[in-house]
Amino acid sequence: MRKGIANDPGRRQRIRDAAAAVIAEEGVEAATYRRVAAHAEVPLGSMTYYFPKLTDLITSAFELLGEQLRPRYDTPLREAVDRQAAIEVLVEATCGSTRATPEQLRLGREMHRCGSRSPTVAAQIASLEAEAIDALRTHFTEPAARALDALVEGWWVHQSWNRAPLDPDMVRRAFTSLAREFDGPDDHEKLDEHDELDEPEEHDAGQ
């Protein structure tokens, strides 16, 4: 059987992975057909078979970022049992076990930089943001969800160039304070306040 491009089902994904890696390491401007083909170790002539336009390749690399982060961010948020659990998901996504890799953080920064000039990429960013806010609205009001999403994005941008680790307790306090500012105390906090009010007063033994 003739060996053709279509008979290599994994090639398209290797090209996408390579494009994302090149953009993350060297910037959007470096993502040429030749550079990405060399990184993916595929024939240069195969590039236009999968991505007829260079912009198609770049936007596909950015789509890959959403595909990678969605299972570690959106899905856990929707599955969180309450607001406190949702805040823990945000902490983990910011500085814990599900946080983005350095490469993903750099890719995200390049995506925003490109989106400031490209309407197509700007629409991609808006779509990812809408998904994140929709997931946050499972536990928070719309204003709180938007504020929390902006804080997460800000920390991700910060970590794309600053490798100093974030303090999880500080991050947790920031998310909790922001949520409380918009939505008030959650059920756990209300219960704690109620318990404090219901504590019996201590009296001297001699009275």
For the domain that residue 54 is a member of, what is the CATH number? 1.10.10.60
Alpha carbon of 134 to those of 62, 65, 109, 116, 146: distances in Å? Answer: 20, 18, 22, 23, 9
User: pTM score, two decimals?
Assistant: 0.81
Q: How does pLDDT run across 110-163, given as a tens digit for each residue? A: 999 999 999 999 999 999 999 999 999 999 999 999 999 999 999 999 998 888
2 within a domain of the structure (yes/no):
no
Residues 68 and 124 in one domain: yes
- What is the domain range of residue 42? 8-63
Of 45, 63, 81, the one marking the end of a domain is 63
206 within a domain of the structure (yes/no):
no
Q: How does pLDDT run across 88-104, given as a tens digit for each residue? A: 999 999 999 999 999 99
Residues 94 and 182 in one domain: yes
Number of domains, the chain: 2
